Copies of this chain bind each other. A is one copy, B any other.
Amino acid sequence: MLIEIDFRDKRPIYEQIVGRIENLMIQGIIKPGDTIPSVRSLAMELSINPNTIQKAYSRLEKDGYIYSVSGRGSFASNISSLLPGKKQEVLDKLKDIVLEASDIGMEKDELIKYIGEM
């Protein structure tokens, strides 16, 4: 099972699915053109209401990760053009962390050292 739900996770189910599929695509496990599980089949597999899957897929389509064709299924898009935006998002989050660290008296060096040792 490539996609799993963690019911203890505070994030809504549909968001977990969105994140999981985004990750699978970013990591190249799902490749452009690959078919994504059908709404109903994934709903069955995860024991979840089809509407919830539909919501996730709808979000993924709007964000450009997949494209859905009525009567045929859902397919992975080429996401190479989305990566720069993703990178910027990560850098923005990193910036927030550094500022937060600074508030509690942690120097940049300490953070850099921590990253280096991971």
Residues of A within 8 A of B (CB): 7-8, 12, 23, 26-27, 62, 67, 69-72, 75, 83, 86-87, 90-91, 93-95, 97-98, 100-101, 103-106, 108, 111-112, 114-116, 118
- Measured in the bound complex, the distance between the Cα atoms of B108 and A94 in whole Å is 12
- Measured in the bound complex, the distance between the Cα atoms of B117 and A108 in whole Å is 10
- Measured in the bound complex, the distance between the Cα atoms of B102 and A118 in whole Å is 12
Question: Pick the contact of A112 from B8, B26, B83, B116 — CB < 8 Å?
Answer: B116
Question: Pick the contact of A103 from B27, B103, B114 — CB < 8 Å?
Answer: B27
Does A104 contact B91, Cβ atoms closer than 8 Å? no
6 A-B pairs, CB-CB below 8 angstroms?
A7-B69, A91-B111, A94-B97, A108-B116, A112-B112, A112-B116
Q: Which residues of B lie under 8 Å from residue A98 when comparing CB positions?
A: 115, 118
Q: Which residues of B lie under 8 Å from residue A91 when comparing CB positions?
A: 111, 114
Contacts known (A7-B72, A72-B7, A97-B93); A104 close to B118, Cβ less than 8 A: no
Does B105 contact A100, Cβ atoms closer than 8 Å? no
The 3 closest A-B pairs by CB, nearest first: A90-B101, A112-B112, A8-B67
